[in-house]
Structure 1
Amino acid sequence: MQLRISKTRKEVDTRIHLGSNFHVSVKRPFARVDVRRRFLPDDANEIVPTRRGISITFQQWSNTIFSDELDKVTFCEDSNDHQNPLGWLRCPNCNPNDFTAY
């Protein structure tokens, strides 16, 4: 996964689910890549970030092994058992907060 952001572009708001509630997010104007685990509070409908994680600059991100290695990762949603919505919903990695409901 290459992260290329144009310096002339004003707005970036992206979140990529890595699995098991781990997410990479990028949001300008902070010019940072945030890698963080998220969780579903008891009284909420949407996951929220935890306090634990890392936040690095775009330059630091491009110098990490993650930027090259993520291109080689096969995410489980690309596997054969995820080719329909029910397969994704039953996966504890893709749907960690609700998989037992299906």
Structure 2
Amino acid sequence: MKSYVIKVNGYYYAGEREDTTPIPRPTEGWYTNRGESNVIFFVGDITKAKVCEGLVNLNSHWQRIYNAMRFDGLDMRTIEIVRADNIIKDLKIGG
């Protein structure tokens, strides 16, 4: 299975925090509660990056980033999706 890491504005996507941010949200969709969303975060160290295994998983995490741009005000200047199969083996990255 192909693996990927996502890099936004020079930092690696590292997943979501369990705390939530109160943000006006539409009523439809899968959210913690209406009006709240999990906080996504980024790191500079690739070994702490979230590894997206497979295209479905990659799309799911991309949608989280997209929703952060759309609803939470994430200012994205650049995005890079990097194939990480060899990087994972060499650096022992965990997701």
As a proportion of its length, which structure holds more strand? 2
Highest relative contact order (Cα 8 Å, sep 6+), 1 or 2?
A: 2
Larger radius of gyration: 1
Bin of the TM-score, shorter chain as denominator length: under 0.3
TM-score, length of structure 2 as denominator length? 0.26
